[in-house]
């Protein structure tokens, strides 16, 4: 999976996508430390140990570099940035039964706007899975020859 590059100076506005998610009953907000155990176990259960490890690193950042999607008081999705590398977005995921409601797009944009506020001009989407999703919503472009990139030879067990 290739990495992708996003122009942070050309991002779509955040408020309309937050509103779309809210209308579907989904709140997007930054995670806070006391819910770390809930989030990590949810990520592990839905997406595996590797993403749970990355999420733990995001929780070690101050402020926590992880946004959550919450529906009816339950975790519906998450997005991290600056977990495995500075200036990298990811991992991110939404509960399978709640996809298509705008949570993924809102988590992505909330994170990228936060990265812009940190002072970055561009962001890297690490090991981008759904390339069309990133291209469509934030104009991301594939970085040539970026596979396996920073993930070369990492230990999975
Ligand atoms: C990718 C993911 C986070 C998107 O979450 P989501 O909540 O379903 O996304 P949204 O509802 O915000 O999608 C909004 C838009 O993106 C489009 N979209 C969603 N997933 C897409 C995909 N895989 N490929 C292309 N377009 C996609 C939708 O059609 C929709 O378009 P519209 O706004 O024009 O109607 C979710 O599919 C997921 O968790 N996938 C598994 C984990 C994963 O691959 N994470 C990314 C790792 S790099």
Contact 80 CB / ligand 1 (< 6 Å): no
pLDDT digits (tens, 9 = 90+) for 49-65: 999 999 999 999 999 99
Closest-lying ligand 1 atom to the alpha carbon of residue 91: 47
CA of 142 to the centre of ligand 1 (A): 17
**Nearest residue by C-alpha to atom 5 in ligand 1:** 104
Residue 130: φ, ψ to 5°: -80, 80
CA of 100 to the centre of ligand 1 (A): 7
Contact 17 CB / ligand 1 (< 6 Å): no
Of the chain, the end-to-end C-alpha distance in Å amounts to: 20
pLDDT, position 11: 98
pLDDT value at 157 more than 80: no
Per-residue confidence at 27, pLDDT binned at 50, 70, 90? very high
pLDDT, position 45: 98
pLDDT digits (tens, 9 = 90+) for 129-139: 999 999 999 99
Which segments of 61-120 does DSSP mark as H helices, in order? 103-117
**pTM given for the model:** 0.97
Mean pLDDT of all residues belonging to the chain: 97
What strands lie across the sheet with 26-30, from one edge to the other? 26-30, 66-71, 74-81, 88-94, 122-125, 4-7, 141-142
pLDDT value at 118 more than 80: yes
Share of the chain above pLDDT 90, in %: 99
The average pLDDT across 67-95 equals: 98
The average pLDDT across 70-92 equals: 98
């Amino acid at each position: 999976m290739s990495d992708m590059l996003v122009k942070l100076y050309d991002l779509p506005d955040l408020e309309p996508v937050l509103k779309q998610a809210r209308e579907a009953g989904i709140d997007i907000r930054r995670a806070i430390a006391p819910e770390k155990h809930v989030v990590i176990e949810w990520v592990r259960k839905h997406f595996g140990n590797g993403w749970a490890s990355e999420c733990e690193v995001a929780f070690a950042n101050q402020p926590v570099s992880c946004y959550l999607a919450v529906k009816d008081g339950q975790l519906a999705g998450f997005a991290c940035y600056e977990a495995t590398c500075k200036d990298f977005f990811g991992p991110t995921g939404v509960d399978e039964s709640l996809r298509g409601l705008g949570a993924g797009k809102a988590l992505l944009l909330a994170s990228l706007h936060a990265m812009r506020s940190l002072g970055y001009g561009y962001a890297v989407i690490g090991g981008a899975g759904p390339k069309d999703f990133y291209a469509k919503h934030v104009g991301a472009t594939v970085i040539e020859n970026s596979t396996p990139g920073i993930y070369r030879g990492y230990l999975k067990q």
